[in-house]
C-alpha cells in the first residue's frame, strides 16, 4: 500500500473501543498500548480509571476524539469491596492503613441503614490523594509533601447503593452514580458513619454511560487482534457511539453543504443537537439548531 493510501485509510478510522482495563494499568497506559497497536496517534478516553481499579474504559479513536463531550458517559456503575475496621490516608488499599481498634460486629441491617445516607444527591468531599487541582497543583502532590489539603465539597448523585455480599470485615456493594463521584470517599465516609472506619479494597467499573463490560475487550485479546490485524472488528462506529442523539441522514448534496459549513433545513420539532450521518453510515458532523429553529448548522465537523 502506498504511503498516501495508508495515510488516507488511517485518517478515515473513527470510533470507540471499550476496553476492560486491568488492575495496575493507568488509563494513559491503555492509550499508549492502542496507539502502538493501531499505529494511530489521535487516541483518547472519556474518563480516567484509577490504576487500582479495573473495568470499563471508553477509548476514542481518530476524529471521534472530538466527541468526548457528546458521549453519554455521565453515569457510572461500580462493583466495590469495602474493608471495615481500618482506615487509609488515601481511602484505599494503596495508602497507609491503620486499624481503628474497633471490633467489627455489625449486623447486615445496621450496614444497610447507614448506606441510605449515601443514596440520592449529597455533598461529597473528594480524597486528599486525588488529581483535583488546588492552587495550580494536584491535590495528591500537596498531600505527599505533608501540606494541608482542603478540597471543597461537590454535589454528587448516587442513584442506587446496594449490598451484594456481607462477609465481615468486608462487604461487597454495587454503586450506580453520577460521573465525578469518588467511591473511595463513599467507603471512607461509610466507615465514619458506622463508627468503625473503612477503606476501599477493590473497585471494578462495570458501566460507563451506555457502554458496559459486554462491549469490552481485554488488553491481551486486543493485543492478539493487533497481531492478527483484526482489531478494527471491535471498533464501534462513531455514529453508533452517540446513542440517543437524533440522527439526520445526509444525501450527497446535504453532505457537501455540511462539510463546507453551510446550513441545511430543520423542523421545529427537531432536537437541539443531532448527529449528521452520510448514506454510508459515516458520522460527518454534530449539528445544532439555528436560533429560529428552522435550520441545522454544523457545530463540529469531523471531516473536511
Domains in the chain: ranges and CATH = 3-73+211-240 (3.30.2350.10), 75-208 (3.30.2350.10), 245-301 (2.30.130.10)
- Percent of the residues in the chain that have a pLDDT greater than 70, as a whole number: 95
CB 22 within 8 A of CB 54: yes
Cell of 24: 495496575
pLDDT in the model for residue 4:
45
Q: How far is CA 90 from CA 22, 62, 200, in A?
A: 20, 36, 9
Check residues 33 and 4 and name the one with the higher pLDDT. 33
Model confidence at 2, pLDDT cuts 50, 70, 90, reads: very low
Residue 300 vs residues 84, 166, 275, 288: alpha-carbon distances, Å = 49, 49, 10, 9
50 is catalytic: yes
Mean pLDDT value of segment 16-35: 95
- pLDDT for the residue numbered 253: 95
Catalytic residue among 50, 92, 189, 215: 50
Percentage of the chain with pLDDT > 90?
76
Contact 91, 263 (CB under 8 A): no
Who has greater pLDDT, 246 or 70?
A: 246
- The pLDDT confidence band at residue 73, using thresholds 50, 70 and 90, is confident
Closest CA to 34 of 8, 13, 3: 13
Q: What is the pLDDT of residue 304?
A: 55
Residue 17 has pLDDT above 70, yes or no: yes
What string of DSSP letters covers 48-81? ---TT-EEEEEEEEGGGGGGGGGS---EEEEEEE
pLDDT for res 274: 95
Query: What mean pLDDT is predicted for residues 45-69?
Result: 91
- Band of residue 9 on the pLDDT scale cut at 50, 70, 90: very low
β-pair partners for 236: 16
Mean pLDDT of 169-175: 98
Give the model's pLDDT for residue 57. Answer: 96
Q: What is the mean pLDDT of residues 210-229?
A: 96
Q: Is the pLDDT of residue 99 over 70?
A: yes
- CA-based nearest residue to 205, from 87, 71, 60, 73: 73
Question: Whole-model pTM?
Answer: 0.88
Unique residue bearing C-alpha cell 466527541: 67
Average pLDDT, rounded, for the chain = 91
pLDDT in tens, 129-165: 777 777 777 777 776 877 777 888 899 999 999 999 9
Asked if residue 49 lies in contact with residue 57, where contact means CB atoms within 8 angstroms, the answer is yes
pLDDT of residue 11: 54
Handedness of CA 5, 219, 130, 138 (dihedral sign): negative
Cβ–Cβ < 8 Å for 235, 244 = no
Beta bridge partners of 154: 124
Amino acid at each position: 500500500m502506498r504511503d498516501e493510501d495508508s495515510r488516507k485509510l488511517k485518517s478515515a478510522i473513527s470510533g470507540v473501543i471499550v476496553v476492560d482495563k486491568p488492575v495496575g494499568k493507568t488509563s494513559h497506559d491503555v492509550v499508549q498500548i492502542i496507539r502502538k497497536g493501531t499505529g494511530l496517534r489521535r487516541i483518547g478516553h472519556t474518563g480516567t480509571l484509577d490504576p487500582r481499579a479495573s473495568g470499563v474504559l471508553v477509548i476514542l479513536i481518530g476524529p471521534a476524539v472530538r466527541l468526548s463531550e457528546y458521549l453519554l458517559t455521565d453515569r457510572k456503575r461500580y462493583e466495590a469491596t469495602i474493608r471495615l475496621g481500618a482506615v487509609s490516608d488515601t481511602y484505599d488499599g494503596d495508602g497507609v492503613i491503620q486499624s481503628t481498634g474497633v471490633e467489627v460486629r455489625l449486623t447486615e441491617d445496621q450496614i444497610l441503614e447507614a448506606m441510605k445516607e449515601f443514596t440520592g444527591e449529597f455533598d461529597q468531599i473528594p480524597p486528599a490523594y486525588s488529581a483535583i487541582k488546588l492552587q495550580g497543583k494536584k491535590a495528591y502532590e500537596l498531600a505527599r509533601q505533608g501540606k494541608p489539603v482542603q478540597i471543597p465539597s461537590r454535589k454528587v448523585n448516587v442513584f442506587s447503593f446496594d449490598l451484594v455480599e456481607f462477609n465481615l470485615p468486608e462487604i461487597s456493594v454495587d454503586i450506580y452514580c453520577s460521573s465525578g463521584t469518588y467511591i473511595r470517599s463513599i467507603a471512607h465516609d461509610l466507615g465514619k458513619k458506622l463508627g468503625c472506619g473503612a477503606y476501599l479494597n477493590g473497585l471494578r467499573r462495570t458501566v460507563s454511560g451506555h457502554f458496559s463490560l459486554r462491549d469490552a475487550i481485554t488488553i491481551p485479546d486486543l493485543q492478539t487482534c493487533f497481531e492478527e490485524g483484526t482489531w478494527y472488528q471491535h471498533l464501534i462506529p462513531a455514529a453508533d457511539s452517540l446513542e440517543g442523539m437524533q440522527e439526520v441522514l445526509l444525501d450527497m448534496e446535504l453532505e457537501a453543504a455540511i462539510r463546507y459549513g453551510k446550513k441545511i433545513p430543520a423542523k421545529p420539532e427537531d432536537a437541539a443537537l443531532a448527529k449528521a450521518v452520510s448514506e454510508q453510515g459515516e458520522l460527518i458532523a454534530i449539528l445544532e439548531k439555528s436560533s429560529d429553529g428552522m435550520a441545522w448548522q454544523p457545530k463540529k465537523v469531523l471531516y473536511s
